[in-house]
Structure 1
């Protein structure tokens, strides 16, 4: 059996089609994927397994509306650790369940984090957890013209 080369991110047309269908609906069955890409279910299962093993597919997630679970306020928090506090700030970030994503960035701030909170009081409490170790600057999200999405999947030219 020919092994696909994922270490260089070389995906063929069928892999790309499988990924596009899973991106659209991660609950698509293997049988349905097989029908859509015109392969047998065992072949599709094997391709999915290889994509998972190679780290191309990192997982399958659930998308929950924060407003529906009582967290209507979404904020971006820019965080500038005090000298020597970079690692401590990272620990604090990881420990906050309200923070749903965080990136270490270049520029004046070291981190930018997205959080969902119930109200301004909860936001203040979250920001206060950093007070001894960093300065913060927060922005409330008014709307999201582009919601979180995956990058486009492209087939490598061979």
Structure 2
């Protein structure tokens, strides 16, 4: 089932503020609170909404983010590396990519020191033969996942 324009407006509002109440969301999209709740529930079941994220940090401080490009010895296997990455809360993205490196990992942490700790942990994993790290200097565009039909 595809999304209509109201569903798209709901997703846009949730992208701006995932904590918005159903009542406030309803007023923004001109529906009843119950109708919004039903639409949100449906979009969750269909996978358009896959979670609500908290980016924690100290008041007045932003998080630090970095990309790690990870090269594994055995490109096809390596589920042990993926299992460790899943266990690190600061890993917010992990994609298998083409090219020289196998995994693109995005980290969002409270400090540079924490980024370094995570890098050391990943670089020391059996099967990881190389990493390259790129620190994020600024984020110009930040969107949620794009729904697929």
Please classify the TM superposition score into its range, dividing by the shorter chain length.
Answer: 0.7 to 0.9
Alignment of 1:1-158 (within 5 A): 5=1, 10-65=2-57, 68=61, 72=64, 74-83=65-74, 86-115=78-107, 116=109, 117-119=111-113, 122=117, 125-130=120-125, 133-146=128-141, 148-150=142-144
Distance 1:111 1:94 in 2: 13
- On the 8 A contact 2:71/2:131 being kept in 1, the answer is yes
- Which moved further from structure 2: 49-58 or 122-131? 122-131
C-alpha change, 1:64 and 1:48, in structure 2 (3 Å) is same
Which has the greater radius of gyration? 1
Shift of 1:88: 2.9
C-alpha change, 1:129 and 1:100, in structure 2 (3 Å) is farther
Shift of 1:123: 5.8
For structure 1, the residue ranges without an aligned partner over 5 or more in a row are none
- On the 8 A contact 2:94/2:104 being kept in 1, the answer is yes
Distance 2:144 2:51 in 1: 13
Cα deviation digits, residues 135-157 of structure 1 (max 9, x gap): 112222333333x3125679x8x
C-alpha change, 1:124 and 1:30, in structure 2 (3 Å) is closer
For structure 2, the residue ranges without an aligned partner over 5 or more in a row are none
Q: How many residues align?
A: 144
SS of the equivalent of 2:125 reads coil
